[in-house]
Amino acid sequence: MDDESTDVEKKVSEEELVENYQKHFDKNMAMRLLVKLRKATRDKPKVIAGTTGAIVTTLGSLLSALENPATPSHMKAVIIGAIGYILLPLDLIPDFTPVVGYADDLASAAGVVAAVGAYSEFSLEKLDAYIDQMES
């Protein structure tokens, strides 16, 4: 019985942690950045899109996993942190630095994407359809 109550307390505290992070998290800002970066790279070859194209896949995967109700609460907190790092323009290498601006963001988020990949249903095709629908 004691282990069961500890598990319930742990789950409640994880959910409170996620709620606390979400108070300071703007999903719309993340989605706007995702759309902006995809528009800038979708008609370009992968070699030219480079890191910016990779950050589209990374950010899209993180947002998709965040929206999935099956994603565990503790992972959602980590996802929010990774998305926040991508959104924050001033970090290890500022995002407005040409070519490598998103490289540190990508490196930081790669481990999170690997951990939550099973919860993500992101695809570039779905994102492109969403962008096309927005533009029509």
pLDDT in tens, the chain (136 residues): 455 555 555 555 656 655 655 555 678 888 998 999 899 888 888 777 777 788 889 999 999 999 999 999 889 888 888 888 777 765 544 555 555 555 566 666 777 888 898 999 999 999 999 999 999 8
Residue-level pLDDT at 38 = 93
Distance CA 75, CA 94 (A): 26
Residue-level pLDDT at 61 = 95
Distance CA 112, CA 75 (A): 9
Distance CA 86, CA 67 (A): 17
Residue with tokens 């800038």: 40
Distance CA 83, CA 27 (A): 9
Residue-level pLDDT at 85 = 77
Q: Give the burial class of 30: count Cβ atoms within 10 A of its Cβ; 0-12 exposed, 13-18 middle, 19 or more buried.
A: buried
Quote the crossing angle between the two packed helices 27-41 and 46-67, to the nearest 10°: 160
Measure Cα distances from 88 to 31, 115, 124 in Å: 14, 22, 23
Query: Strand, helix or coil at 41?
Result: helix
Residue-level pLDDT at 51 = 73
